[in-house]
C-alpha cells in the first residue's frame, strides 16, 4: 500500500526528533488528535517500514552504523589519561591530544587562580566520559548479557524468614502461602 502525502511527511518529520506526536502536527494532522494519530501511524506496517528505510538512508549518508558505534565505544574504553599528560604530569596542549580525547570529553575547565607574589596558578578540570556506562553499552552491543536486567522475586515466610520453594510439597507451599498472606494483612 502506498503512503499518502501526509503519511510520507509524517515519516520524514518523525526523523527530526523521533517524536511521533510532534511529527504528526508538523505533517499537518490536527493538534487535538495528533497523539492518537501518531500512535495509529506508528502501528502501521507501511509507515514503520518507510521510517526504517528513511533511517537507513540517513545512516548511509552520515556513515553511522553498528560498526561505527562499536568502534567509538572501544575507542572511549581505551582512553588513557597518559595520552594527554607530558612526562612531568602537566597537561599537554589540547592540539597534541589524540582525537578521541578532543571529541569525547564531557567538559574541560581551566580556571586561573591568583596567589600571593603575583604568581598565578591554573586549576584544570577534565570531565571524563562515563566509563561504566560505556562498558555497559559495549556489553549490550556485543550481547554479553552481563548487564541484562533480571526480575527478582523475593518471597518471605513467617517472621520474614525465607521460604524454600524448591523443596516444598504442594501442601507445604499452600501453608507457607497462607502464612505469607496472613502476615500481609497485619
Q: What contacts 79, CB < 8 A, 6 or more positions away? A: 100, 101, 104, 128, 129
Residue 125 has pLDDT above 70, yes or no: yes
User: What average pLDDT is seen over the chain?
Assistant: 80
Same domain for 93 and 136, yes or no, is: yes
pLDDT average, residue stretch 103-119: 72
Counting the structural domains of the chain, the total is 3
C-alpha cell of 147?
A: 548487564
How far separated are the first and last CA of the chain, in Å rounded? 60
The more confident residue out of 89 and 153 is 89
Same domain for 86 and 138, yes or no, is: yes
Contact 82, 96 (CB under 8 A): no
Same domain for 174 and 102, yes or no, is: no
pLDDT average, residue stretch 75-95: 88
Structural domain span for residue 46 = 5-62
Residue 148 has pLDDT above 60, yes or no: no
d(CA 74, CA 89): 25
Same domain for 71 and 25, yes or no, is: no
Instruction: For 18-68, write each residue's pLDDT tens digit.
Output: 999 999 999 999 999 999 999 999 999 999 999 999 998 988 888 877 788
Same domain for 34 and 107, yes or no, is: no
**Which pLDDT does position 110 carry in this prediction?**
72
Interstrand relation of 120-127 and 107-114 (parallel, antiparallel or unpaired): antiparallel
**Which pLDDT does position 65 carry in this prediction?**
79
Same domain for 135 and 100, yes or no, is: yes
Residue 155 has pLDDT above 60, yes or no: no
Same domain for 69 and 126, yes or no, is: yes
Entry pTM = 0.49
Residue 5 has pLDDT above 90, yes or no: yes
Amino acid at each position: 500500500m502506498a503512503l499518502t502525502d501526509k503519511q510520507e511527511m509524517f515519516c520524514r518529520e518523525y526523523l527530526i526528533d523521533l517524536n511521533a506526536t510532534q511529527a504528526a502536527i508538523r505533517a499537518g494532522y490536527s493538534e487535538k488528535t495528533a497523539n492518537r494519530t501518531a500512535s495509529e501511524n506508528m502501528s502501521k506496517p507501511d509507515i514503520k517500514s518507510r521510517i526504517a528505510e528513511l533511517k537507513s538512508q540517513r545512516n548511509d549518508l552520515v556513515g553511522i552504523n553498528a560498526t561505527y558505534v562499536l568502534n567509538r565505544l572501544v575507542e572511549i574504553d581505551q582512553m588513557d589519561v597518559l595520552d594527554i599528560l607530558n612526562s612531568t604530569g602537566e597537561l599537554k596542549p589540547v592540539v597534541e591530544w589524540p582525537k578521541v580525547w578532543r571529541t569525547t570529553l564531557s567538559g574541560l575547565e581551566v580556571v586561573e587562580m591568583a596567589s600571593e607574589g603575583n604568581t598565578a596558578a591554573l586549576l584544570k578540570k577534565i570531565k571524563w566520559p562515563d566509563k561504566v556506562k560505556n562498558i555497559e553499552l559495549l556489553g549490550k552491543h556485543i550481547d554479553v548479557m552481563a548487564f541484562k536486567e533480571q526480575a527478582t522475586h523475593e518471597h518471605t515466610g513467617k517472621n520474614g524468614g525465607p521460604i524454600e520453594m524448591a523443596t516444598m510439597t504442594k501442601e507445604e507451599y499452600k501453608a507457607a502461602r497462607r502464612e505469607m498472606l496472613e502476615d500481609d494483612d497485619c
